[in-house]
Amino acid sequence: MLELTERTAPEPLGGHRPPGRIVDRTFRALAATGGALVLVILAAILVTTTRNAWPAFADQGLTFFTSSTWDVVQGTFGTLAFSYGTLVISVIALLIAVPVSLGVALFVTELVPVRARRAVVFVIDLLAAIPSVVFGLWGILVLAPALTGTYTSVADAVDGVPLLGTLLSGDPISGRSFFTAGLILAIMITPIVTSVTRETFATVPRAQKDGALALGATRWEMIRGAVFPHSRSGIVAGVLLGFGRAIGETIAVALVIGSSPQITARLFNSGDALSAVIANQFGESTGTYQAALIGMGVLLFALTLVISMIARGVIHRAERRIGSASA
Amino acid sequence: MSAVTVPARSSLTRSSASRRRHAANHLALALMVVAFIVTVIPLALILGYVVVRGMRVMSWSFLTSDIPIVSRAPGGGMGPAVVGTLLITGAAALMAVPLGVLGGIYLHEYGGPTTRARVIRFLAEVMTGVPSIVMGLFIYTTWVLAFGVSGFAGALALACLMLPVIIRTTEEMLRLVPLDQRQSAYALGGRRAGTIVRVVLPAAAPGIISGVLLAIARAAGETAPLLFTILTVNTVNTDLFNGANTALSVQIFRNAQQVFPGPQERAWGAALTLIGIVVVFTVIARAISAVFSRKHHA
C-alpha cells in the first residue's frame, strides 16, 4: 500500500515547468532501459548460444543428449557421460550440504545470542566470498591428494557390502573424482542454502515458537513442531537454488573431477561434468566440436533456468502466503 | 496455522520418556553446533593455506613482474594478471553499476507492482542463477566471434553477471527509504526525477554502495567467463580493447593444473593477491553497511 500513495502523489498541477517534464520523461526512459536490459540479455543468451550450437544439434540429433560416446577425432559428440557426472556430483553436494546448512541455519536463528548473530553470519558469508578458482586450487593441490588415502581405507572398509561397496569404491581410486568434486561443491553451496533457509526460519511467528515452548516442548520439539512445518517451502527453495548453483559451478569442478568421461557407480573414480568439459576443452575446439561445447552450455543454461524459476516461484508463493497470514 | 505436536504427558519427575526427549534435544542442539564447526573448518583451511603458501612468494616484485613465458619455470610474478584483473573488473563495474542502479530505480520507483516490473524482477532473480561459464559462451558468440578477444570482452561478461545483482540490491535499498522523504520533496515542488536523484538516492546510497562493492568483489574472482574471452598473455596489456589479456583468476586456473612447483607457487601467490582484493572490497562494504545500520537504528 506504500506504493499506491506514492504513485498518485507526484502528478504536478498544471505543468508549469515543461523542461522539468522532459527531464522526468528522459530519466524514466533511462531507468526503464536499465530494467529491460535483463530481458534483452536473457533472450540474447538463449538465441545466440542456440544458434551457434545448432551445427552440433543438427549433426548429432538426439544422440547429442543420449549417447555417451565423445570422440573428437571421429566427430561423435554424445554428452550423456557429462550430464551424468553433473548430476552425480550435484546430488553428492546436496546430500552433504543440505543437512549441514539446515544445522547452521538453526544454529544461527535458534542457538546463537542475538548479539553474536551478525558475526556468525559474516563467517558464513566469507565462505561465499571466496572465488571458486581458489576452492579449485585448494581442492586440486591439497584436498585431492589428502583424500586418496582416505578413499582407499573407506573402500577397504565397505568392500563386499552391497550397494555401499560399489558406491564407495574406485577402479582405480583417484583423489580427483566424482566424490571430491561433490565435496568441494558441498562447501561452495552451503552459504546459499544456509542463507535462504535462515531467512525462512526467521519468519516463523514468535507466538508459535513461544506457544510450543510454553506447552513444555523442548527446543528441538519446538523446532520440529513449529519451525519446520512453517518453513517447508523455504527449505525446498534453498535446496533448489543450491542445486542450480552446483550444476553451473565450473572452475572448481574442472580442477578436481579428474576429466575422464565415464558412467559408473563408483564414486571414487575420475569423472567429468558439463561445465568442466566446456572450461577444459573450449580453447582447442573448432567447428562442430566447438558447436557441441556451446550446445552443452545451452543445456546447462536451460537446466539452471528451469530450476531457478521453480525455486523463485516457490519462494514467491511462500512469501504471499506468509504475507496474507500476517495481514 | 500448523499444529504444534508436543507429547501429552510431561511430569516433574523425569520419566524415561522425558529423559529420551531431553537426550534428543541435546543431541539435536549439539548437531547444530557441529554443523557450524564443519562449515568453518574448510573456510579456515582454505584461507590458512592461501595465506601461508601465498606469503612464501609474496613480494612487491611478485605483484609487478611479468609471468614467465615457460610456464614450468620458477620465479617471475603476476604483474600482468594484477593489472588485468583491476582493469577488466573496473571496466565491468563502469558498465554494470549505472545500468544496474537505473534498473533498480525503475523497479522500485516506476514499475512497482505492474506486471512488467514483476516480470523484470523475476527475470533479474533468475539471471543471478545463470552459470558464469554460460555468460562466457554468450560473450564469445556475440562479441569475440565478431571483434576478437580483448579485456573488454571479459569485462562485458563480468558486467552481465553483476547487472542483476546490482538491480536487486538497489531495489532492496530503495525500499528502505521512508515514503515521507519523497512526499516532503514533492510538497516542496520537486519533480519525480529530481526527487529520486537528490533525495531518494542519497538516502539509499550507503546500502547501494555496499551491495555494489560485494558484486564487484564477486566479479573480480570470476574465472569461467574470462577463459575464452580474454585468453592469456605474459606481459602487461593496458589496452582494454585490443589483444589478449589475463587476470589473476585465469592464472590460478592455468597454474594449478601444472605439476611443477614453480607455477604452483605462483598460483598460491595469485590466490593470496586475489583474496586480498576480494577481502578489501568486502570489508569496505561491511563497514559501510554497519555504519549505515547503526545510523538507521539511532
For residue B97, is it within any domain?
yes
User: How far is the alpha carbon of B57 from chain A, nearest alpha carbon, in Å?
Assistant: 16
pLDDT given for residue B294 in this prediction: 65
Q: Which residue has 612464501 as its cell numbers? A: B56
Burial A256-271 (b: 16+ CB within 10 A, else e): bbbbebbebebbbbbb
- Which residues in chain A are contacts of B27 at CB distance < 8 A? 220
pLDDT given for residue B224 in this prediction: 96
- Measured between alpha carbons, how far is B239 from B245 in angstroms, rounded to an integer? 9
Average pLDDT, chain A: 91
All three cell numbers of A233, joined, read 517451502
Is the CB of B43 less than 8 angstroms away from the CB of A99?
A: no
The CATH number corresponding to A60-326 among 3.40.50.920, 3.40.1280.10, 1.10.3720.10, 3.20.20.140 equals 1.10.3720.10
Q: Does B22 touch chain A (CB under 8 A)?
A: yes
Lowest mean pLDDT among A27-31, A322-326, B216-220, B271-275: A322-326
Burial A10-25 (b: 16+ CB within 10 A, else e): eeeeeeeeeebeebbe
Residue in A133, A147, A184, A201 to test binding to B, most B beta-carbons within 10 Å: A133
Domain extents in chain A: 60-326
Q: How many domains does chain B have?
A: 1
Give the tens place of pLDDT for each residue, B209-242. 999 999 999 999 999 999 999 999 999 999 999 9
Is the CB of B4 less than 8 angstroms away from the CB of A44?
A: no
- Measured between alpha carbons, how far is A275 from A251 in angstroms, rounded to an integer? 8
pLDDT surpasses 90 at A2: no
Is the CB of A141 less than 8 angstroms away from the CB of B264?
A: yes
Band of residue B14 on the pLDDT scale cut at 50, 70, 90: low
pLDDT given for residue B9 in this prediction: 52
Residue B181 belongs to a domain with what CATH number?
Answer: 1.10.3720.10
pLDDT given for residue A11 in this prediction: 47
All three cell numbers of B293, joined, read 545500520
All three cell numbers of A140, joined, read 586440486
Q: Does A211 touch chain B (CB under 8 A)?
A: yes
- Measured between alpha carbons, how far is A161 from B24 in angstroms, rounded to an integer? 30
Band of residue A299 on the pLDDT scale cut at 50, 70, 90: very high
For residue B180, is it within any domain?
yes
pLDDT given for residue A94 in this prediction: 98
Give the tens place of pLDDT for each residue, A192-239. 999 999 999 999 999 999 999 999 999 999 999 999 999 999 999 999
Q: Does A132 touch chain B (CB under 8 A)?
A: yes
For residue B154, is it within any domain?
yes
- Measured between alpha carbons, how far is B199 from A198 in angstroms, rounded to an integer? 33
- Which residues in chain A are contacts of B191 at CB distance < 8 A? 10, 12, 17, 20-21, 23-24
- Measured between alpha carbons, how far is A279 from A270 in angstroms, rounded to an integer? 17
Is the CB of A248 less than 8 angstroms away from the CB of B133?
A: yes
Q: Which residue has 581458489 as its cell numbers? A: A134
- Measured between alpha carbons, how far is A227 from B172 in angstroms, rounded to an integer? 26
Calculate mean pLDDT across residues A107-111. 94
Average pLDDT, chain B: 91
* Residue A69 CB coordination number (10 Å): 13
What percent of chain A lies above the pLDDT cut of 70?
Answer: 92
Identify the closest residue of chain A to B255 by CA–CA distance: A137
Is the CB of A9 less than 8 angstroms away from the CB of B217?
A: no
pLDDT given for residue A266 in this prediction: 95
Within 180-199 of A, beta carbons closer than 8 Å to B belong to 187, 190, 194
Give me the sign of the Cα torsion angle B33, B39, B42, B48. negative
Give the tens place of pLDDT for each residue, B27-59. 999 999 999 999 999 999 999 999 999 999 999
Band of residue B288 on the pLDDT scale cut at 50, 70, 90: confident
- Which residues in chain B are contacts of A254 at CB distance < 8 A? 253
pLDDT surpasses 50 at A13: no
pLDDT given for residue B13 in this prediction: 59
Determine contact, residues A70/A77, Cβ cutoff 8 Å. Answer: yes
Calculate mean pLDDT across residues B129-150. 96
Q: Does A297 touch chain B (CB under 8 A)?
A: yes
Q: Does B40 touch chain A (CB under 8 A)?
A: yes
- Which residues in chain B are contacts of A296 at CB distance < 8 A? none
* Total residues belonging to chain A: 327
Residue type for position A103: G
Residue of A296 and B286 predicted with greater confidence: A296
Q: Does A145 touch chain B (CB under 8 A)?
A: no
Is the CB of B135 less than 8 angstroms away from the CB of A45?
A: yes
Is the CB of B130 less than 8 angstroms away from the CB of A301?
A: yes
Q: Does B131 touch chain A (CB under 8 A)?
A: yes
- Measured between alpha carbons, how far is A180 from A276 in angstroms, rounded to an integer? 14
Band of residue A296 on the pLDDT scale cut at 50, 70, 90: very high
Q: Which residue has 598460491 as its cell numbers? A: B268
Rounded to 5 degrees, φ, ψ at A321 are -65, -45
Q: Does A166 touch chain B (CB under 8 A)?
A: no
pLDDT surpasses 50 at B145: yes
Identify the closest residue of chain B to A309 by CA–CA distance: B126
Using only C-alpha atoms, what is the Rg of chain A?
25
Show the domain range for B164. 80-297
- Measured between alpha carbons, how far is A47 from B30 in angstroms, rounded to an integer? 51
pLDDT given for residue A312 in this prediction: 86
State the burial class of residue B45 (Cβ atoms within 10 Å of its Cβ: 0-12, 13-18, 19+). middle
Is the CB of A103 less than 8 angstroms away from the CB of B21?
A: no
- Which residues in chain A are contacts of B124 at CB distance < 8 A? 38
DSSP state of B233: -
User: How far is the alpha carbon of A159 from chain B, nearest alpha carbon, in Å?
Assistant: 27
Calculate mean pLDDT across residues B63-78. 93
Is the CB of B21 less than 8 angstroms away from the CB of A132?
A: no
Is the CB of A220 less than 8 angstroms away from the CB of B138?
A: no
Closest CA relative to residue B192, chosen from A29, A4, A12, A18: A12
* Residue B186 CB coordination number (10 Å): 19
pLDDT surpasses 70 at A183: yes
pLDDT given for residue B18 in this prediction: 86
pLDDT surpasses 80 at B11: no
Within 221-250 of A, beta carbons closer than 8 Å to B belong to 221-226, 229-230, 241, 244-245, 247-250
Instruction: Name the residue facing B127 among A38, A282, A283 (closest C-beta).
Output: A38
**Segment of A118-122, B158-162, B290-294 carrying the highest mean pLDDT:** B158-162
Q: Does A65 touch chain B (CB under 8 A)?
A: no
Can you spell out the DSSP letters for A231-280? HHHHHHHHHHHHHHHHHH--HHHHHHS-S-----S-TTS----HHHHHHH
Closest CA relative to residue A289, chosen from A81, A80, A79, A77: A77
Q: Which residue has 549433426 as its cell numbers? A: A59
pLDDT given for residue A316 in this prediction: 82
Helical (H) or strand (E) element with A77: strand A76-77
What percent of chain B lies above the pLDDT cut of 70?
Answer: 93
Residue in A40, A134, A249, A317 to test binding to B, most B beta-carbons within 10 Å: A134
For residue B25, is it within any domain?
no
